[in-house]
Amino acid sequence: MFSTRVTSDLTPNRLSAAIARLRENRVEFDDLTESNPTRVGIDYPVRLLEALARPSGLTYAPEPFGMPSARDAVVGDFRRRGMSVPRDRVVLTASTSEAYSDLFKLLCDPGDDVLVPAPSYPLFEYLAALDSVRPRPYHLEYHGAWSLDIDGLRRATTDRTRAIVVVNPNNPTGSYLKRAELDALAIHCRVHDLALIGDEVFAEYVLDAELARTTSVLSQGQALAFSLGGMSKGLGLPQLKLGWMVAAGPEELVRPALERLEIICDTYLSVATPVQAGLPALLTGGAAIRTAIRDRVTRNYRALLTAAPQYPSVDVLPAEGGWYAVIQVPAMQSEESLVLHLLEHDRVLVHPGYFFDFPREAFLVLSLLPRPEVFDRAVSRLLQRVEAAA
């Protein structure tokens, strides 16, 4: 009866089952997978949501791409980041996930494919399947720093490929795209008629300011490109459900893309009016949240770098940006048994690397968001366990 867009295998995996068991028995554990910024003791300005109560929010005047005042606010936010984008290229969505879905509808027929990075964000598989699109991985390689395997990406391109997704900085490797990589991607897209989708939700969370980085696909002019961002990560306000995409590239590609996107967005009109009306004030008032999150992830990343050298079997991979850290540990046992052991015996929950499609074992992924006291004690138990098992 049901579509194959949603998997028919609904049995929870061993890790989800173990978490459910602990929760059922009210056993507490330190959650180093927490990626919800509203649950980690960050101070949110208490009056911030007064911006949602503007009288203009009482009138419904639907616009496929969003209210002009809200799109202007996004233009202003890009200006703050040193980028000039015209308002007519800004499209509001309810989330970045919805922006992906809009773009898959715009670019792909059922059965077409999009190239996605590996290791990376695990939701691509679901987002693509829900739009009957196939994700095809291209690899990020680690040689002391992460780089994009551009030859592999060329080989992964098929005659059904319609787009390349880059996550910049990538989740969870924390690696930013380098200028030469962006240029090579743009040329490849141009030659093969592909669009470039830049997921830039973590762009402003720089962990290593010394390193060269390119923060937006908007900084190239060859390929049709879309920069995706939003309040969920950019301001730590996922509950407000507002994201955006900005189109760039050759005018003869951008124009027809926007004409078609308008039909898609007009079909759903999914962004609520009050959040659009409040966006100018939210972007200004929310800047303090971004700063607090940046301070938190920087603090926790430094604490991890300070603690890890006492444990020779643990290697913290350098993170250039984002909200996550990756550690490499000896592959004496599978990632799954190590993660289960950590949860059941040490009461620390981390993500196994396979969750993000790392090419081999053993890697663990830690969120850098938790409260410092939780982060420090969980990291200490984690490092001791890994060292003892080595």
Ligand X SMILES: Cc1ncc(COP(=O)(O)O)c(C=O)c1O
DSSP secondary structure, 291-318, as one string: HHHHHHHHHHHHHHHHHGGGSTT-EEPP
Q: Provide the minimum distance between the beta carbon of 106 and ligand X in the complex, in angstroms, as a whole number.
A: 17
Residue 96 or residue 157: which is nearer to ligand X going by CB? 96
End-to-end CA distance of the chain: 49
Could you tell me the smallest distance in angstroms from the CB atom of residue 232 to ligand X? 3
Question: For residues 199 and 167, is the Cβ–Cβ distance under 8 A?
Answer: yes
Q: Which is nearer to ligand X, 41 or 122 (CB)?
A: 122
As to burial, measured by CB atoms within 10 angstroms (0-12 exposed, 13-18 middle, 19+ buried), residue 362 is buried
Residue 316 and residue 310: Cα distance in Å, rounded? 12
Q: Closest separation between CB of residue 309 and ligand X, Å?
A: 29
- Report residue 343 as tokens: 């949860």
The answer to whether the CB of 119 falls within 8 A of the CB of 172 is yes
CB of 238 to ligand X, least distance (A): 5
Tokens of 247: 């189109």
Buried b (16+ CB within 10 A) or exposed e, 267-280: eeeebbbbbbbbbb
The residues of the shown chain that bind ligand X, judged by CB under 6 A, are 35, 95-97, 121, 167, 171, 199, 201, 230, 232, 238, 243
Nearest CB to ligand X, comparing residues 238 and 278: 238
Q: Which residues pair with 137 in a beta bridge?
A: 116
Cβ closer to ligand X: 48 or 201? Answer: 201
Nearer to ligand X, 101 or 157 (CB): 101
Q: φ, ψ for residue 201 (rounded to 5)? A: -65, -30
Q: Which is nearer to ligand X, 112 or 199 (CB)?
A: 199
Q: Which is nearer to ligand X, 235 or 362 (CB)?
A: 235
Q: Least Å distance between CB 314 and ligand X?
A: 24
Nearest approach, Cβ of residue 373 and ligand X (Å): 24
As measured in angstroms, the least distance from the Cβ of 324 to ligand X is: 9
DSSP secondary structure of 59-79: S----TT--HHHHHHHHHHHH
Q: Count the neighbouring beta carbons within 10 Å of the beta carbon of residue 286.
A: 21
